[in-house]
Chains A and B, each alone.
Chain A
Amino acid sequence: MKMMSKKMPVVVQIILIALVVFIMDFIFTSQSNISILVGLLFWAGVGQGLIAMSAAADLAQGKWIKSIKPYMQEYYPLLAMFPIIFIIFSIHAPAYRWSWEPGTWLNLPFFIIRNTIAYLLPFIVAHFYVMASRKSSNKTQLAAVLYIVSFVVCQSFMAYDQVMSFEYPWINTLFGAFFFIEAMYAGIAFSIFLTGLLSWKDSSGFKSSFQDFTLMLMGFALMWAGLFYSQYLVIWYGNIPEEVSYIATRMEDPMIEKMGIFTLLTLFLIPFLLLVSRKIKSTVPVVFGIAFLVLAGLVVERLIYLIPVGDLSVMGVIMPLVLMGIPFLALLRSQYSSTNGKN
């Protein structure tokens, strides 16, 4: 892994990963298997969320993020991975039940084209944004706005088109916003690792960013709970069969119910209650644990979306999840080792 990050350009990494995912997929999974989507939704959230946090900070002219921003922006080439993985996933697109009776919006060719573009868009805009931001040109603000827009569009497509349409005609108008808030949540959790590791080597610049990120993590835990509750309450209260069926099918399955409790704990209660304490907020290993739980909770939540609607296999979920994570972790590692203790 260390060799890979040092020697291999990102393009080669991505192509290799895509190839391995494709071969694995070809050997191990059937056509109705939608396992790849779990890893795709998760890592696209992390990657795009990281850049979105940096763009949002640029717009708000937040100084607290200044020292860490260049490191966050280094992740943008990895966004190129997601359109490719999506194209591999589209082999399994017939698993969408609406594809048997295509309509004007929900038909396979259009679905594949628009979602590939949706994944491509944040990568292209992020490229211009990061270039502008590095040169600190006066176009940075505009590029940041455009990135946020493309990010919102892509996450909305992931939510409404790739996940929600499994259960057509069930609709949940908040789903898209929920997805992009979760992506930012994931981006913050990942930034915690980034800043935490860097502050071990160079405590001067990153320590305060780390504390701010833990505060953000706590804030997002609360926000996540609010958004989750807004969806749950409306559906629960309305009690309309066609809406409630979504929750009912998930709550009836004892395993999914346990997974649901796990997400509530990891995405809300644990981060929120633990991070109230100032002592825990400044204990790096504990915060690392919390950030890891948040990321784990987000993976489990994607499983909750997908388990009742399609075939999943253990290997099919884990392999892409790990493979797509490799370039992220490799970059994190190289960032860590290239930061010398300056002080």
Chain B
Amino acid sequence: MTNSTFSNNEKNSEVIEYEFASKEEFLEKLESLVKEGVVPSKLSTLTPFHVHEVEHILHTAPSNLRFFTLVGALTGFFLSFAFIIFTVLDWPLITGGKPLISIPAFIIVAFECTILIGGIVSFLGFLHLNRFPDFGGILHPKECGNHFIILHNQG
């Protein structure tokens, strides 16, 4: 039932494209390709939803996104704390009988900023890792519908 087609892409004729309607067949083919000795980095897939097994078969490293998240979150935390303490020292004004540097009160804004900056940086990291927005893709989208596709780069 393998309805594999040979695509004649004008630019890159060495890419073989296999197209499947069922996920199982797609995974079987992918597995057999890897077993045949195809280097996983030459294989790419297009799927209508996230297929966890692909990462397992291709032995892909976990996404580097976590570094963006970590750096963003830590930056947000320390930067906001530093900023708040700077503002109270810049113009010392005692309010409500609280000490100038009231750590318990500052934790809240620092916490919110951890999440704010962490979330934004993660999102930007996601865009960066995927090279989004992909203008080529936007102008000439390659549609695979609901099919599972394997792209084998021969070059």
A236 to B107 Cα, complex, angstroms:
13
Interface set, chain B 79-125, CB cutoff 8 A to A: 97-98, 104-105, 107
Determine whether A117 belongs to the interface, using a CB cutoff of 8 Å to chain B: no
Indicate if the CB atoms of A233 and B97 lie closer than 8 Å.
no
A152 to B107 Cα, complex, angstroms:
30
Residues of B in contact, count (CB < 8 Å): 5
A230 to B104 Cα, complex, angstroms:
10
User: Which of B98, B104, B105 counts the most A-chain CB atoms under 10 A from its CB?
Assistant: B104
List B contacts of A237 (CB < 8 A).
98, 104-105
A339 to B101 Cα, complex, angstroms:
56
Binary flags per residue of A238-277, CB closer than 8 Å to B gives 1, else 0:
0100000000000000000000000000000000000000
List A contacts of B98 (CB < 8 A).
237
Indicate if the CB atoms of B97 and A236 lie closer than 8 Å.
no
Indicate if the CB atoms of B104 and A232 lie closer than 8 Å.
yes
List B contacts of A236 (CB < 8 A).
104
A211 to B105 Cα, complex, angstroms:
35
Interface set, chain B 7-55, CB cutoff 8 A to A: none
List A contacts of B104 (CB < 8 A).
229, 232-233, 236-237
Indicate if the CB atoms of B97 and A239 lie closer than 8 Å.
yes
A239 to B96 Cα, complex, angstroms:
10
A309 to B81 Cα, complex, angstroms:
37
A266 to B22 Cα, complex, angstroms:
50
- Closest beta carbon of chain B to A131's beta carbon, Å: 39
A87 to B98 Cα, complex, angstroms:
45
A237 to B98 Cα, complex, angstroms:
8
List B contacts of A232 (CB < 8 A).
104
CB-based nearest B residue for A235: B104
A233 to B108 Cα, complex, angstroms:
10
CB-based nearest A residue for B97: A239
List A contacts of B107 (CB < 8 A).
229
A233 to B107 Cα, complex, angstroms:
10
10 contacts between A and B (CB under 8 A): A229-B104, A229-B107, A232-B104, A233-B104, A233-B105, A236-B104, A237-B98, A237-B104, A237-B105, A239-B97
The 4 closest A-B pairs by CB, nearest first: A236-B104, A233-B104, A239-B97, A232-B104
> 8 additional contacts, CB 8 Å, given A229-B104, A237-B104?
A229-B107, A232-B104, A233-B104, A233-B105, A236-B104, A237-B98, A237-B105, A239-B97
